[in-house]
Amino acid sequence: MGKMEGKKLLLLGERDGVPSPAMEAVFKNSGGEVVFSATECFV
Amino acid sequence: MPNAAVKACSNCLVHAPEMAERYGNTPYMERLSHPGSEFLAALPKAGQSYEEACRYAPNLTFIGALSVDGLPARPQPWLRNLEPEAVRDGRFGEIMPEDEFLGLMDFCDVFDLIWLSLDFAAGVKGKLKARNFWSPEQLARLEKGRPLAEIEAECREQHALPLYFGGRVVGCCRRGHETDENLSAHVLLENIASKATSILAMMHLLRNSGLPPGEIDFVVECSEEAIGDMNQRGGGNLAKAVAEIAGCRNASGFDVRAFCAGPTAALITAASMVAAGARKNVVVVAGGAVPKLYMNARDHVKKGLPALENVLGSMAVLLTEDDGESPVIRLDSLGKHTVGAGASPQAVTTALAWEPLEKLGLKLTDVDKYAPELHNPEVTVPAGAGNVPEANYKMIAALGVMKKQLERGDIEGFVKERGLTGFAPTQGHIPSGVPYMGHALEEMKAGRLKRIMVIGKGSLFLGRLTNLADGASFLMEKMAGGAGQAAAVTTRDVEEVVLEALGDLAAALNR
């Protein structure tokens, strides 16, 4: 069982920080459910 | 391997707060959704005047009136500690006021889309002429104008967008088609503004290089605008439209698009053409983005700060064949972010900064300065986007620690020594490393700088076709002692030398 088992995850990425696909990869085997994932660009 | 010489650069700004207030995307969308909002009410009072924009240290650095190295030492915050004197002209370009810009848009327009009022057109023509910068042919393109009543009717009845100066309507941008949304007045306003700012940068580049317009062979344009109609949205060739008004009669051109990585990709494309001998004198040019004006103004206004995103940026670079003296764009090792590289900051930095150096047997510390996205932190930090260049430098340094080229304690020194303070407006593709090239060119010519890396990154997810990260990078370098010429020696040259030596030997034996 992963650390995030039963949790729902909202992933908000930033282009020059950590983009959401990178976060999705990190949480892939965490047991959490990614319900929203997006990257934004403020520049 | 042959390279391409970096011969000249230009960086220009256009102060456009009234265009920002009406047609920057953030206030424009706010006006549609919440026309009575506090933000919109506060925005007109939050602007910087032209004189203030000409005293703002990051702007002066952009046009080359202040050195990049000197910028961090200027009293901060820069927005509260304006420079003592307003400066319009720098070594790389100028800060153009908004009224002259409307005149520039008019003479860049070949489809009678920009209309100016009679009195405004006459006044602005005098101002443009007094600059002794624009050619008689260019000035002759400025129309005498139309009665204000005609302009107001065009806005009221034909979906034209009003253009403002001094708080009053002085002209309009008309639509190019009755039903095609790709040729609406809004889209055409953005495209003509991009074209006009490109032409401004192109003319300053020609002045800086001393090259007559007729000597330019090819133009590569790399902004983020889509030029086309409903059947070919984004069909392009803004490059040729720019070359036409700039008087480059012998040039052709095309556009390169890669979001904010566009200029880096365009420079690699142009340098490759020059190095291959396919084109001789190639200009890479990019104009400004109207939608990005006042993009983060909501946060600035909320925090009681001036709305700083009031300038359109533009830039141009001239590439010529390697003369063995000028700094070059090295083509023997380019940074590219592949489909399989991954999106994590570590993966992106490895692809763009580490791999091209490793291929040449160089270390991260063999690069004197890194030029990633050079956003002005006074714009991005209050908006919550952080200090973009600094974040990039920390990531490059951290990678150096992972690769055992740096100690953990060296990170701060690496960032300080090899980083740059951001000075570029948040105009998307404009800050992507390239505005530093003019500064670097001067430093390399003076022998104070040997090698820089320009890094561009693009946000492909914005187009909703892929979530992949993207980027490109290249090294700009002053090759040691005519290395450029040495690099151009061919197998044929070597054969000729060997044959000549053998001939001398045979002659000696015969004696």
Which long-range contacts does B487-495 make (Cβ < 8 Å, 24+ apart)?
B487/B1, B487/B2, B487/B3, B487/B322, B488/B2, B488/B322
- Banded pLDDT at B494 (limits 50, 70, 90): low
Strand partners, B169: B164
| Res. B500: pLDDT tops 80 | no
Residues B297-318 pLDDT 10s? 999 999 999 999 999 999 999 9
| Res. B484: pLDDT tops 80 | no
DSSP B416: H
3-class state of residue A7 by DSSP: coil
CB B100 within 8 A of CB B133: no
The residue type found at B466 is: T
**Average pLDDT for residues B89-105, to the nearest whole number?**
98
**Average pLDDT for residues B69-95, to the nearest whole number?**
97
* pLDDT of A18: 84
Q: Please spell the DSSP secondary structure of B315-343, one letter per residue.
A: EEEEEEE--SSS-EE--SS-EE--TTS-S
The residue extents of the domains of chain A are 8-35
Please state, in angstroms and rounded to a whole number, the distance separating the CA atoms of residues B226 and B332.
32
* CB-based contact A14 B385, cutoff 8 Å: yes
Q: Which of B348, B356, B365, B363 is nearest to B260 (CA)?
A: B348
* CB-based contact A16 B392, cutoff 8 Å: yes
The verdict on B337 touching A (C-beta cutoff 8 Å) is: no
**Average pLDDT for residues B225-243, to the nearest whole number?**
97
Probe site for chain A from B461, B462, B464, B470 (most A CB atoms < 10 A): B461
* pLDDT of B431: 97
Please report which residue ranges of B171-312 form alpha helices under DSSP H: 185-209, 238-246, 262-275, 297-302
Instruction: Tell me the ipTM for this assembly.
Output: 0.77
Please state, in angstroms and rounded to a whole number, the distance separating the CA atoms of residues B118 and B171.
9
List the structure tokens of B484: 């450029």
**Average pLDDT for residues B471-489, to the nearest whole number?**
73
Instruction: Give the contacts of B216 (CB within 8 A, at least 6 positions apart).
Output: B206, B243, B248, B250, B251, B281, B282, B283
- Banded pLDDT at B114 (limits 50, 70, 90): very high
User: How far away is chain A from the Cα of B191, in angstroms, using its nearest Cα?
Assistant: 19
Nearest to B388 among A18, A22, A43 (CB): A43
Please state, in angstroms and rounded to a whole number, the distance separating the CA atoms of residues B174 and B162.
9
CA-based nearest residue in chain B for residue A25: B344
The verdict on B380 touching A (C-beta cutoff 8 Å) is: yes
Nearest to A19 among B386, B428, B469 (CB): B469
List C-alpha distances in Å: B115 to B30, B119, B501.
26, 12, 72
- Banded pLDDT at B77 (limits 50, 70, 90): very high
Q: Which of B409, B301, B387, B393 is nearest to B345 (CA)?
A: B393
Please report which residue ranges of B175-235 form alpha helices under DSSP H: 185-209
Is the bond leading into B327 cis (omega within 30 degrees of zero)?
no
| Res. B483: pLDDT tops 50 | no
Phi, psi angles (nearest 5°) of residue B180: -80, 110
| Res. B491: pLDDT tops 70 | no
* pLDDT of B485: 44
* CB-based contact A17 B386, cutoff 8 Å: yes
Please state, in angstroms and rounded to a whole number, the distance separating the CA atoms of residues B68 and B255.
29
CA-based nearest residue in chain A for residue B349: A16
**Average pLDDT for residues A14-30, to the nearest whole number?**
87
List C-alpha distances in Å: B56 to B50, B131, B185.
10, 22, 32
The verdict on B459 touching A (C-beta cutoff 8 Å) is: yes
Helices vs strands, H then E, count in chain A: 1, 2
* CB-based contact A43 B260, cutoff 8 Å: yes
3-class state of residue B163 by DSSP: strand
Q: Please spell the DSSP secondary structure of B424-473, one letter per residue.
A: B-S-TTTTBSGGGHHHHHHHHHTTS--EEEEEEEE-GGGGTS----EEEE
**Average pLDDT for residues B110-125, to the nearest whole number?**
98
In chain B, what are the domains?
4-478 (3.40.47)
B200 alpha carbon, distance to own chain's centre:
12
* pLDDT of B260: 97
- Banded pLDDT at B488 (limits 50, 70, 90): very low
List the structure tokens of B263: 């200029």
* CB-based contact A42 B469, cutoff 8 Å: no
* pLDDT of A14: 85
- pTM to 2 decimals? 0.92
In the numeric block, the tokens 């023509």 are attached to: B125
The verdict on A16 touching B (C-beta cutoff 8 Å) is: yes
CB B298 within 8 A of CB B39: yes
3-class state of residue B113 by DSSP: coil
Please state, in angstroms and rounded to a whole number, the distance separating the CA atoms of residues B441 and B453.
13
In B338-367, the residues whose Cβ lies within 8 Å of chain A are 342-345, 347
Please state, in angstroms and rounded to a whole number, the distance separating the CA atoms of residues B56 and A35.
44
| Res. B493: pLDDT tops 80 | no
Please report which residue ranges of B131-259 form alpha helices under DSSP H: 136-140, 148-158, 185-209, 238-246
In the numeric block, the tokens 């000249």 are attached to: B8
For chain B, give the mean pLDDT. 95
Q: Which residues in chain A are contacts of B391 at CB distance < 8 A? A: 16-17
| Res. B489: pLDDT tops 70 | no
B234: left (phi over 0), alpha (psi -120 to 50) or beta: left
The verdict on B432 touching A (C-beta cutoff 8 Å) is: no
CA-based nearest residue in chain A for residue B388: A16
Residues B326-339 pLDDT 10s? 999 999 999 999 99
